[in-house]
Structure 1
Amino acid sequence: SDGTQVMSSVDSFAPLSCSWHDAPPMLQRREGAAAASVCGRLYVLGGGDGSSVLGSTESFDPNAECWRLEPLMFTVRLGFAAGTIDGDIYVCGGNDGGQSVSSAECYRPAVGAWEELPAMLQRRERFAAAAVGGRLYVCGGGDH
């Protein structure tokens, strides 16, 4: 957000020219969302639109320069994290608009479906996460 509104704008960085460029805007305004890349597509998941917490997912094809809606997550969430393992997107934690959550789920782009996963050991939001060696590590955060 720019401090006054939730944005749908997208910028892309080109390392070879060391420059930023405008990209087509997302279909929905978002802040506190997570992003992942699978098979050359950019996926942006959840977040908030300034009035509600989102469970929506959209993906961007940089070759066609267009966005499309993907299936909804099981849990609305913002301030969460995502990681990619073997072509699937794993999301966990965040805030559902009322409290921190421990829920986790996996999006399988190859079949276009979400799968619920076992919850994390504790609720957390605004944490760091990374996929390493076939595991998703979540680090820090808070339980609010």
Structure 2
Amino acid sequence: MRRSRISAALFAASISFSSAYAEDGAWRMAKPMPVPQSENSSAVLGDKWYVIGGIDVPQTAPVGSVIVYDVKSDSWSHLKDMPEPAHHTATVGLDGKIYVFGGFVGTPGAKQWQPIADAFSYDPATDAWTKLAPMPTARGSAEAVALNGKIYVIGGAHVHEHGREMKEPLWAGVPSIVGTTVEEYDPATDTWRERAPMQAERNHFLAAAVNGKIYAIDGRVGLPFVTKSDVTDLVEAYDPKADTWTFKARSPTRRGGVPGAAYNGKIYVTGGEYQDPEGKRTFWALEAYDPATDTWQTLPHMQIARHGFVAGFIVNEFHVAGGSFQSDGMPGINAQMDTHEVYTVAK
């Protein structure tokens, strides 16, 4: 009798495992990127997905490439490079243009990330870049969100301390700040103004707008480097009319290096990275946040766990590409990928 109960339990467990694994079929592989990339940023305009910059992992140097994915032809093309190569930039699309803010630069082969304040716009119609008024605060690994004709650049890491700009580039032994800074850019006037800061400092996080509010989700705290930082599951919402932030329901998974995008009133969050003395982890979980009910839903996970990648919605298809399948920091290992997956959300 006992043997039969054990067998039944094992059989039931195998069915449960098989069913969960079968859910991966919701994701499909699509045309890979031309080259492996990570720590880049992206924006969607219409049916095209623009991927900006990134990092050359063996050299820790910024990459200035710009590529675009055309969903109609399932193909990638190279566009004009960035005027200033950078990684960990904040990128967003608005009114037919791509806006790119800040990021890190550095000397090839040197372990240094120098935050920059430079801002640019890219016009796909002319394949041309235009330099904009710089951000008041130089920073990298921030998030840019467009809402009501304005662009909000949120959070990130920088080397300002007590109003004094540190000249050293960021690295693990250099004083740095993971900020709560929020600065609003007006494309119509090419001007900036300071807005209410977040309640929680964070970088390597996700921010997205739904129904007139901006939501900041997860992220890295303490330092911008995974080997010297912790991660958070905090979620907070920004109301631009009241210029206030409010905490919301925590996310199911604490993680940094996490991208995502908003679609049909929900925010989809996937992937990410975390390290502790027990191990180095990348995530593949896909979760959706519904601001209307302040609740989370767990969805079928990606086929490849990854962090430091790009994500975006083209209509109801959630695209993810690039990144690293292993948490960074292993000598001699380059885990960058060119893989491209798509998850279809019911309309």
What TM-score results when the alignment is normalised by the length of structure 2?
0.41
Aligned equivalent of 1:83, options 261, 284, 288: 261
SS at match of 1:31: coil
**How many aligned positions are there?**
144
Give the Cα separation in 1 of the matches to 2:317 and 2:184: 28
- Kindly report structure 1 stretches of 4+ aligned residues shifted beyond 6 Å: none
Mapping of residues 4-23 of structure 1, within 5 Å: 4-23=176-195
Structure 1 equivalent of residue 158 of structure 2: 2
* Residue in structure 2 matched with residue 108 of structure 1 by the alignment: 290
Give the Cα separation in 1 of the matches to 2:235 and 2:186: 25
Q: Which of 47, 55, 58 lines up with 2:236 in the alignment?
A: 58
Which amino acid letter does the alignment assign opposite residue 130 of structure 1?
A: G
What residue identity is the alignment partner of 1:17? T
Per-residue deviation, residues 82-105 of structure 1 (Å, max 9, x unmatched): 111101000000113331110110
Amino acid at match of 1:37: A
Shift of residue 14 of structure 1?
0.8
Deviation at 1:135, TM superposition (A): 1.5
Please say if residues 75 and 96 of structure 1, whose CA atoms lie closer than 8 Å, have aligned partners that are also in contact. no
Measured in 2, the distance between the counterparts of 1:64 and 1:6 equals 24
* Cα separation, 2, equivalents of 1:54 and 1:118: 22
Larger Rg: 2
How far, CA to CA, are the matches of 1:6 and 1:83 in structure 2?
22
User: Relative to structure 2, which stretch is displaced further, 90-99 or 116-125?
Assistant: 90-99
Q: CA deviation at 1:118?
A: 1.1
Does 2:187 match 1:30? no
Task: Report sequence identity in percent.
Answer: 31
CA contact (8 A) 1:85 1:135 kept: no
Q: Gaps spanning 5+ residues in structure 2: where?
A: 1-156, 160-175, 223-228, 327-347
1:62-120 Cα distance to aligned partner (Å, 9 max, x none): 00100000111110111111111101000000113331110110000111101111111
Indicate the SS of the match to 1:99. Answer: strand
Shift of 1:54: 0.7
Structure 1, gaps ≥5 residues long: none
TM-score by length of 1: 0.96
Give 1:41's aligned residue: 213
